[in-house]
Structure 1
Amino acid sequence: MAAKDEGTPDASAKDRLGFLLAYHGSSTETLIRRALATTGLAPRHAMTLIQLAEGPVTQKALIETLEVDPSVLVSLLNDLEGDGLVSRRRDPADRRRHIVEITPEGTARLEKSGTALDTVERELFADLSERDLTALRRILGKLRTAPEDFSCTEA
């Protein structure tokens, strides 16, 4: 075994967890996009419907939950409303606010997308036990991935 130079980095690409996570995230996103394409939804549309399945909410609450810019949400809702998957109405308690609600057709499309996603997840996580999946959820829940979590200072 050759001696390591002092200037040689310790970690190979396979040891860099950030790169591994990015690689697997990119691959997973591709699989999800393909699965959702069979339902006519993009991932952001599906995520919006998932949030709305819990009940009607204000546009402001959706912006906060989905962590998107208001203009992005309006575009998403325009698409979903155009397909008859959501409806928007003024809040009777405050006419300045809009309430967003999933429609019966949106619920049916969400169920179809759930089936497609179940297939992807079964294959993706086939080699993991329930204990592994629980640990993975716990660990992923601890990741600090929001931009405000990082202090980008140079050493």
Structure 2
Amino acid sequence: MTDPTQLSTHAGFLLGQLGFHTAYRFSDLLAPLGIKPRHFGMLKLLSAHDGRTQQELGEALEIHRNVMVGLVDDLEKRNLVERRRHPSDRRAHALHLLPAAHALLAKAEQRVAELDAELLSPLSPEDRARFLDLLRRTAEGNGLRPGVHPGLTR
């Protein structure tokens, strides 16, 4: 039988282990707020680009339009976003955050900050900055778009 500690010499294993742990912690922290990580990502993007069309946001997140419709339907049912006719293209819908979304997003962002602090607690502030820089460079070097989770597209 292979010694399981030998797996800790492989970057892929360590990243997978930490990614799995992080994904579950993230979901657990958002669950009491009634949202999932994909809702958080959409709300976060929309908070910076309020009034963009579903198509524009879907392209930015690399989400298939059918998945995007379901995601927006979810957020609309929760009274977090509203679809409005686009002012210059009546075939398109512009998405707008509703007041409840701003309050929810503030709570979610606080939980995300707590998770970051928890995950990075073994590292010094200097090591944290270096670690994040290395992760960003590794992700970009592997063709991953900044801010786009590949789990949304696959």
Structure 1's consecutive aligned runs of 4 or more residues displaced over 4 angstroms after TM superposition are none
What is the total number of aligned residue pairs between the two structures? 136
Gap runs ≥5 in structure 2: 1-5, 145-154
**Which letter maps to 2:48?**
E
**Which letter maps to 1:50?**
K
**Which letter maps to 1:107?**
H
Structure 1 length-normalised TM: 0.81
- Alignment equivalent of 2:10, drawn from 16, 19, 24: 16
CA distance in 1, matches of 2:12, 2:134: 14
Alignment of 1:1-155 (within 5 A): 12-56=6-50, 57-142=52-137, 143=139, 144=142, 146=144
**Which letter maps to 1:92?**
P
Structure 2 length-normalised TM: 0.82
Gap runs ≥5 in structure 1: 1-11, 147-155
CA distance in 2, matches of 1:139, 1:119: 21
Question: What do residues 47-93 of structure 1 show as CA deviations (whole Å, max 9, x unaligned)?
Answer: 10000111321112211221211111111100000000011111110
Name which one, 1 or 2, has greater alpha-carbon Rg: 1
**Structure 1 14/145 Cα, relative in aligned 2: closer, same or farther at 3 Å?**
farther
Provide the identity percentage.
34
Q: Which has the higher helix share?
A: 2
Q: Which has the higher strand share?
A: 1
CA distance in 2, matches of 1:46, 1:64: 17
**Which letter maps to 2:74?**
D
**Which letter maps to 1:58?**
T
